[in-house]
Amino acid sequence: MDGTLLVFVYLLAVNIAGYQMMAVDKRRAIRHRRRIPERRLFLAAWLGGALGVLTGMYNQRHKTQHVTFTAGIPFILIVNIVVFGYLFVKIG
């Protein structure tokens, strides 16, 4: 498998997972069930899933009042773009 395709598939998977994590956490919050730790949500973002987490945040209207998320996730997204953009150029 081509390196660029491998990175693309990885990013797609981790962003889908990040979105799903936000959706599951929102559902659990509504039902007063055990939640996904914020640390794990941030880990998904740092691993390349910031766009999925950010999309899930606003689509699910979840954690949009938390400054750590409204400022932190967009910052991590910028870092993701720089790092993975560099990877695409290097592998490319």
Residue 3's pLDDT is 86
Overall domain count for the chain: 1
Cα distance between residue 66 and residue 80, in whole Å: 21
Per-residue model confidence (pLDDT) at position 1: 65
* pTM summary value: 0.93
pLDDT tens for the chain, 92 residues: list them. 688 899 999 999 999 999 999 999 999 999 999 999 999 999 999 999 999 999 999 999 999 999 999 999 999 999 999 999 999 898 87
Question: pLDDT at position 7, please?
Answer: 92
Q: Which domain holds residue 73?
A: 3-91
